[in-house]
Amino acid sequence: MNGPAPASRGLVRPGSTIGILGGGQLGRMLALAAAQLGYRTHVFVPEADSPTAQVAAAATVARYDDLDALSRFAAAVDVVTFEFENVPAATAQHLAALRPIHPSPSVLAIAQDRLAEKRFLNGIGVATAPFRAVATPAELEAALRELGRPAVLKTVRLGYDGKGQSMIRADGDAAAAFAVLGGADGILEGFVDFRMEASVVVARTAVGDVAPYVPVENRHVHHILDTTIAPAAIPAALAEEAVATACRIARALDLVGLLAVEMFVTRDDRILVNELAPRPHNSGHWTMDACRTSQFEQHVRAVCGLPLGSTERHSDAVMKNLIGDEVEGWLEALCDPAAKLHLYGKAAARPGRKMGHVNRLYPRAG
């Protein structure tokens, strides 16, 4: 066998069971990719009939703080990963004492805390929007004087798809914005005049191999990702910088698994990193149909110590999320020869709920 020995790679052989924390659509697509490589999956999730449980070989339905259930789950799997980064720290640490878990609890700790994330990034020389920690209304007023208006106030922990954050405009009420935090610690970020939101998904193995995908453009509606365009229409030098930045972050984290690096491309062609997601990501769904290796297969390869697959794209792509009632267009998508439909098995469509996505493929340009 060429390359590092299986033990040093953290090799988990096909036929083994991958434990997945979280039962959403990311876990569902991860479980399907794992099955193609010969693995079983066992999902740990608080809710019954989750999208992941529908396709996994086994499911444990229990709270994340149920240590007995976590121990039984660990005994039934060979390696653990997760499909969302807000797994409680105590849960990750308990499992880490019993089974390999990728990415590690230390990576989770950074990704779960916006202040820790920004400080980590700045500490390795990666540029972000300017920011200040705010725990009181007085600290918020002081931070606004330093960073100026408009600015964005966010909770330090939790929050996604625009939840837990508010814009403070020139005439905005800072006290009202602070009240939105609901007593949680906050972070104020200076407003970035960007021309594009972009992201790079990169995989890394235990022996340090990295494999990035091309940068993509992300377009949001009501703070929820609506469309991803692959590749992003940015100059080649800027695309190379974005990829190099993502790889640098993955190495500095000592990541094992997949990392999505969300970025702003400013009007003067600078890259500012916004957030990190150490898991498969909505902006990587296009890889399922346009690349030799999907982000989900790549994550399985990384956490199981397998060689990483090629990230080459054979087509350009546009990924469109089906949000809420948009899922009713599923039949139209099936009639489109350029489209690939992916539905998540969710019973009820609600406003803002991601029900599926459609990848449309186009001849590769360049």
**Dist. CA 269–CA 262, nearest whole Å:** 16
Neighbours of 198 (CB within 10 A): 27
What pTM was estimated for this model as a whole? 0.95
H or E element that contains 73:
helix 67-75
**Dist. CA 41–CA 199, nearest whole Å:** 28
Cα 161 vs. chain centroid, distance in angstroms?
12
Query: Which residues does the chain have with pLDDT short of 70?
Result: 1-8, 159-164, 366
Strand pairing category for 40-45 and 58-61: parallel
CATH of region 6-111? 3.40.50.20
DSSP string, 184-246: --EEEEE---EEEEEEEEEEE-TT--EEEPPPEEEEEETTEEEEEEES----HHHHHHHHHHH
Q: Where are the beta strands (DSSP E) in the chain?
A: 17-21, 40-45, 58-61, 79-82, 131-134, 151-155, 165-168, 186-190, 194-204, 210-212, 216-221, 224-230, 257-266, 271-277, 315-323, 339-343, 354-363
| pLDDT at residue 127, as a whole number | 98
Q: Is the dihedral of CA 84, 90, 91, 96 positive or negative?
A: positive
**Dist. CA 323–CA 357, nearest whole Å:** 8
**Dist. CA 301–CA 211, nearest whole Å:** 11
Residue with tokens 């007085």: 138
**Contact assessment for residue 156 and residue 115, using Cβ atoms and an 8 Å cutoff:** yes
| pLDDT at residue 358, as a whole number | 98
| pLDDT at residue 162, as a whole number | 53
Residue spans per domain, the chain: 6-111, 130-190, 194-363
Neighbours of 304 (CB within 10 A): 26
Q: Give domain 194-363's CATH architecture.
A: 2-Layer Sandwich (3.30)
| pLDDT at residue 224, as a whole number | 94
Neighbours of 230 (CB within 10 A): 25
- Residue 92, CA atoms < 13 Å, CB-side half-sphere: 20
**Dist. CA 115–CA 121, nearest whole Å:** 10
Q: Domain 130-190 is in which class?
A: alpha beta
| pLDDT at residue 1, as a whole number | 37
**Dist. CA 131–CA 16, nearest whole Å:** 44
